Amino acid sequence: MYGKYNRLVSEFKKTYPGVEPTYCIRVPGRVNLIGEHVDYNGLPVLPMAMEREIRMLVGPLSNNSIRVHNTSPQYSPREFTISNNITPYSTGDWGNYIKAGVQGIVNMARESVKNDKFHGFAALIESDLPPAAGLSSSSAMVVASALAGLAVNNLTISRQELADRLAIAEKYVGTMGGGMDHAAILLSAVGSALLIEFFPLRAATVPLPRGYSIVVCNSMVIAPKTEAARRSYNRLPIECRLAAMILRKEATALYQEAASARRLADLLAFVPAGQLYNLINQTLVGKEWSKESVAIALGVSLSELEQEYLLMGDGQLFPQPADGFLLAERMMHVIAEGERVRASVQALEKGDASQFGQLMNASHASCRDLLHISCPELDKLVDIARGAGAVGARLTGAGFGGCVVALVPSDQLSQFRTIIIERYYNEYLKQNRPQLYQAAQALGYDNIVLASTPQSGAAVSPLPGGLAVLSGT
């Protein structure tokens, strides 16, 4: 009766006696091909949805409880009730991604669901998407949980609107991410990469070169969601915003319209890139940026600066980094990375794999040297990947660990895989990071060197008794 979900359905029924599963939700991970840390600046990105995914079986509950079980024992069950303001678990708890999705649905449907009578749900989750690897397992969980909330409450929404809303909803967990992940997860199309543009959200498919494969290799350095990692990530959007607002102030003297800019992409609409580079050189380069000097440059008081720019979702103030705010480097990266994304689209439309590969390589160098989000393991893996035949290789996702994405001639795939396993895992990691090597052995290479073709976005399949949720394609 339930076709390919039979096994999961029988486990669901054992876990939740008396609850009927009515939906199966499939949410893919994403790999970003190029365009790192540009989304929250309003510049385009080029990811694709991959084969690895989260599957969630969902059944409605008559009350407002949310109950989630994960088939992986690493994630113990969570249960909470729906309210207008759901209190988060402690930082890093996997249940916060479920709560973020549910809170997002509550926020969006408050008006249409009478008296806040939201139905809760019971869910059983299984996943083959590696966590903390820069492949958006967290956003996939947020999307899955939101889709479950929509499904059991008979709410429909367009994919686009959901992507927009969930990008905001995920801020619940304390990271100040952009909109790439939810858009890639929800809007991707099978067989193509996706050019995503922001404010307003738009997406268009881009062909990948024939005869080449996308391979994702896990460095095994975990990019966890701890307090410290959250700070390392949040530092970037904060610095980008500070830098863009200082540049706005300077640019307004030359281009009045620039006064309305809210982020770097808006400035680029009014100020030619060459002129903006000049402003960066004159205003940002060669200075040590403290809270005080930033406040002076922006013409605000220290407390205005803190309230407007440094106050985090949890009410804490973002501390001044020990090496100061790195404003010039961030801007240099973001402007050039945005240009690389546009150039990549042109190269891919012409089928020019080698040009695209060079842009990927340049993106990695910039992530390493200007954003400082690489690490020795990622750099090593990128080098080995290039030596093993990749025409381009770079870190992918937020950085600080996680995966490398490589563009590899398909007829060299098997040789590529052998060289990566030998030189990165069996030599480099074994010698330098024995624990990570052990972890790789435990996972198995089929789970850490992944050739992936582009997949379609998340889907909700009604099982007997369920209704459609997502409108549009």
Q: Cβ distance 363 to 46 under 8 Å? A: no
Packing angle, helices 95-109 and 137-152, rounded to 10: 50
The residue at minimum Cβ distance from ligand GLA is: 177
SS3 assignment, position 23: strand
Of 32 and 127, which has the nearer Cβ to ligand GLA?
A: 32
- Rounded Cα distance, 306 and 314, in Å: 14
Of 258 and 367, which has the nearer Cβ to ligand GLA?
A: 367
Return the H-helix or E-strand segment holding 247. helix 227-252
- Rounded Cα distance, 31 and 374, in Å: 16
Q: How far is the CB of 40 from ligand GLA (least distance, A)?
A: 6
| Residue 41 DSSP symbol | G
Of 384 and 398, which has the nearer Cβ to ligand GLA?
A: 398
Q: How far is the CB of 470 from ligand GLA (least distance, A)?
A: 21
| Window contacting ligand GLA (CB under 6 A); options: 31-39, 113-121, 258-266, 417-425 | 31-39
Among 34, 36, 96, 222, interactor with ligand GLA by CB under 6 A = 36
Packing angle, helices 273-283 and 227-252, rounded to 10: 110
Q: Which of residues 147-186 bind ligand GLA (CB under 6 A)?
A: 177-178, 180-181
The string of DSSP letters for 431-463 reads HH-HHHHHHHHHH-GGGTEEEE--B---EEEE-
197 binds ligand GLA (CB under 6 A): no
Of 58 and 140, which has the nearer Cβ to ligand GLA?
A: 140
CA angle 222, 224, 229 (to 5 degrees): 115
Q: Cβ distance 399 to 36 under 8 Å? A: yes
Which residues have a Cβ under 8 Å from the Cβ of 19 and sit 6 or more positions away? 12, 13, 59, 60, 61, 122
329 binds ligand GLA (CB under 6 A): no
SS3 assignment, position 294: helix
What count of residues does the chain have?
473
37 binds ligand GLA (CB under 6 A): yes
Q: Which of residues 374-413 bind ligand GLA (CB under 6 A)?
A: 397-398
| Window contacting ligand GLA (CB under 6 A); options: 35-43, 270-278, 417-425, 443-451 | 35-43
CA angle 21, 25, 26 (to 5 degrees): 145
Of 385 and 403, which has the nearer Cβ to ligand GLA?
A: 403
Of 33 and 180, which has the nearer Cβ to ligand GLA?
A: 180
Q: How far is the CB of 144 from ligand GLA (least distance, A)?
A: 16
Q: Which of residues 38-67 bind ligand GLA (CB under 6 A)?
A: 39-40
Query: Is 352 one of the catalytic residues?
Result: no
Q: Cβ distance 147 to 159 under 8 Å? A: no
Q: Of residues 93, 128, 164, 181, which has the active-site annotation?
A: 181
For 85-141, give the secondary structure using H, E and C: CCCCCCCCCCHHHHHHHHHHHHHHHCCCCHHHCCCCEEEEEEECCCCCCCCCHHHHH
Q: How far is the CB of 259 from ligand GLA (least distance, A)?
A: 26
Q: Are strands 470-471 and 157-158 parallel, antiparallel or unpaired?
A: parallel
Q: Which of residues 96-115 bind ligand GLA (CB under 6 A)?
A: none
Of 21 and 399, which has the nearer Cβ to ligand GLA?
A: 399
Q: How far is the CB of 139 from ligand GLA (least distance, A)?
A: 6
Q: How far is the CB of 107 from ligand GLA (least distance, A)?
A: 19
Q: How far is the CB of 30 from ligand GLA (least distance, A)?
A: 9
Q: Are strands 65-70 and 121-127 parallel, antiparallel or unpaired?
A: parallel
Binding site for ligand GLA (CB under 6 A): 32, 36-37, 39-40, 177-178, 180-181, 397-398
Q: Which residues are catalytic?
A: 181
